[in-house]
Amino acid sequence: MDSHDNNPQKKWKNRELIASMEFAITGIVTAFKEERNMKKHALSAILALAAGWFFKISAVEWLFLLLSITLVIAFEIVNSAIENVVDLASDYHFSMLAKYAKDMAAGAVLVVSIYALLTGCIIFLPKLWQLLVR
């Protein structure tokens, strides 16, 4: 037995890369199963990727599009985790601090979503315009 096996702080530490990856993948799958907004983000991502393929966007445009998608999904997962921890910690009783934490986490998702929207507009509006004026 390792010397840290009796240490309660290390109880939930992952000792192997594979175990860490399994927990991470489980977290992602749980977010997509349990969070309504993740399904909306996934649909938006699929539509954006299809538009990127349709318009044959450049490598740099792909990088920004993929960054936008990744940020929105990652922030939504973090937001959901924060909401769950706040609910657990506040024992579902109203607390102004809990409200602030949840509102700020949701605000972070809104900020990256606006970035994603602006990125999509910068990439796709000129291409849509060219398609319409042909």
Q: Which residues are catalytic?
A: 76
Characterize 3-29 residue by residue with b for buried, 16 or more Cβ atoms within 10 angstroms of its Cβ, and e for exposed: eeeeeeeeeeeeeeeeeeeeeeeeeee
Interatomic CA distance for residues 88 and 16, integer angstroms: 28
CA-closest candidate to residue 57, choices 127, 134, 119, 110: 127
